[in-house]
């Protein structure tokens, strides 16, 4: 599925793997510079799609470290030699992602390279004519992050500049159309997740939200 939401940003959605995880190819319409959000567990398909669309990938952004969101990292990184970004609180999850995948799916899986760079709350990621802000959104996992794009965002201004119309949010597994991320893991915190969701709603009221699983929706 391809969405050209503004004259600046285009989003290609690839739903991949046994858990039907959404991988997002997000590119600047003018420059074709792109980021790859959550490369699921079919890196070869992602690489082929990037090449077919003649995108210029600059980074892999992981919303969190669960195996179904990260198994394509090795293939994508080897193909394009680009850095992997992850919040450091989820490093423990990608270290065991291969073993977790093989346990739960009963299929062989690629190892997941360590992150090259950290995601930090408030961080700005820019490529082409696009800028996203990282929102640390713990609860589902300790290092879960969401990414907020606003067409009018000026990275030289502060967070308040992000409160605007036509916002786009990449939510990972923090929030879905009809629910929110699991909190039954040992490292999950239900109350923390609800605080994260409240903060997201304050920063991005009515944002068009692209979740880690399922269809886009408005907050």
Question: Do 148 and 130 contact (CB within 8 A), yes or no?
Answer: no
Give residue 162's pLDDT: 46
Letter string b/e over residues 4-41, b meaning 16 or more CB atoms within 10 A of that residue's CB: eeeebbbbbbbebbebebbbbbbbbeeeebbbbbbbbb
First-last CA distance in the chain: 20
Computed over every residue of the chain, the mean pLDDT equals: 91
Q: 98-146: per-residue pLDDT in tens?
A: 988 888 888 778 899 999 999 999 999 999 988 999 999 999 999 999 9
**Is the pLDDT reported for residue 70 higher than 70?**
yes
How many whole angstroms from its chain centre is CA 202? 20
Long-range pairs of 86-89 with CB within 8 A, sequence gap ≥ 24: 86/62, 86/115, 86/118, 86/119, 86/143, 87/118, 87/119, 87/120, 87/136, 87/142, 87/143, 87/144, 87/145, 88/115, 88/118, 88/143, 89/138, 89/141, 89/142, 89/143
Give residue 160's pLDDT: 40
Strand pairing of 217-218 and 208-211?
Answer: antiparallel
Distance, in Å, from the CA atom of 139 to the CA atom of 156, rounded to the nearest integer, reads 30
Q: How does residue 156 score in pLDDT terms, banded at 50, 70 and 90?
A: low
Closest to 206 (Cα-Cα) out of 167, 149, 151, 159: 167
- Full set of structural domains in the chain with CATH: 2-218 (3.60.15.10)
State what percent of residues in the chain have pLDDT above 70. 90
Please give the C-alpha separations between residue 115 and each of 136, 140, 182, 200, 213, in angstroms, as whole numbers.
16, 19, 24, 25, 23
Distance, in Å, from the CA atom of 188 to the CA atom of 130, rounded to the nearest integer, reads 32
Q: 75-86: per-residue pLDDT in tens?
A: 999 999 999 999
**154-173 average pLDDT score:** 68
Burial class for 188, CB neighbours closer than 10 Å (0-12, 13-18, 19+):
middle
State what percent of residues in the chain have pLDDT above 90. 79
Report residue 111 as tokens.
Answer: 């190892």
β-pair partners for 112: none
Give residue 2's pLDDT: 66
Window from 5-9, 10-14, 21-25, 40-44 with minimum mean pLDDT = 5-9
């Amino acid at each position: 599925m391809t969405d050209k939401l503004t004259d600046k940003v285009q989003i290609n959605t690839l739903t991949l793997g046994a858990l039907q995880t959404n991988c997002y190819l997000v590119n600047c319409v003018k420059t074709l510079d792109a980021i790859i959000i959550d490369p699921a567990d079919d890196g070869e398909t992602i690489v082929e799609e990037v090449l077919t669309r003649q995108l210029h990938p600059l980074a892999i952004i992981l919303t969190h470290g669960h195996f179904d969101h990260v198994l394509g990292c090795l293939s994508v990184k080897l193909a394009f030699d680009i850095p992997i970004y992850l919040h450091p609180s989820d490093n423990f999850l990608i270290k065991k992602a291969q073993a977790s995948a093989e346990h739960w799916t009963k299929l062989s899986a690629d190892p997941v390279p360590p992150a090259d760079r950290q995601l930090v709350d408030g961080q700005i990621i820019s490529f082409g004519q696009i800028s996203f802000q990282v929102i640390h959104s713990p609860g589902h996992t300790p290092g879960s992050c969401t990414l907020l794009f606003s067409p009018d965002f000026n990275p030289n201004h502060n967070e308040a500049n992000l409160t605007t119309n036509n916002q786009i949010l990449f939510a990972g597994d923090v929030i879905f159309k009809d629910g929110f991320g699991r909190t039954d893991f040992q490292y999950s915190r239900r109350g923390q997740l609800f605080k994260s969701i409240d903060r997201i709603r304050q920063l991005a009221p009515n944002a068009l939200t692209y979740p880690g699983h399922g269809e886009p929706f408005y907050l």
